Amino acid sequence: VGIVASRLNEKHYRRTIVLTKSGDYAAGSARSVTGFNLYEAIHDCREHLLGYGGHFAAAGMTLPLQNIEVFSHAFEEAVTKRITPELLVPETVIDAEILFSELNPSFYNILCQMEPFGPENMRPTFIAKKVKETGFSKIVKDLHLRFSVKQKDIHLTGIGFNMADKFELLQMDQPLDIVFALDMNEWNGEKNLQMKVIDVRLSE
Pairing of strands 58-64, 25-31: antiparallel
CA distances from 36 to 2, 134, 147 (A): 18, 41, 33
Query: 9: pLDDT confidence band, cut at 50, 70 and 90?
Result: low
Which segment of 12-21, 44-53, 113-122, 154-163 scores lowest on mean pLDDT?
113-122
Average pLDDT over residues 188-200: 92
Q: Is 73 left (phi over 0), alpha (psi -120 to 50) or beta?
A: alpha
Residue 155's pLDDT band (boundaries 50, 70, 90)?
very high
Q: What is the CATH number of domain 2-88?
A: 3.10.310.30
Question: Residues 21-37: what's their mean pLDDT?
Answer: 89
What pLDDT is recorded for position 96? 96
- Residues 178 and 202 sit within 8 Å (Cβ to Cβ): no
| Mean pLDDT across 166-193 | 93
| Domain boundary assignment for the chain | 2-88, 96-202
Q: Model pTM greater than 0.75?
A: no
More confident residue, 177 or 12: 177
Domains 2-88 and 96-202 are alike in CATH topology: no
Q: What is the mean pLDDT of residues 20-49?
A: 91
Summary mean pLDDT of the chain: 90
> Residue 166 and residue 137: Cα distance in Å, rounded?
11
Looking at residue 10, its pLDDT comes to 67
Q: What is the pLDDT of residues 107-152, one digit of tens each?
A: 999 999 998 777 667 889 999 999 999 999 999 999 999 999 999 9
pLDDT computed for residue 101 by the predictor: 97
- Classify domain 96-202 by CATH architecture: Beta Barrel (2.40)
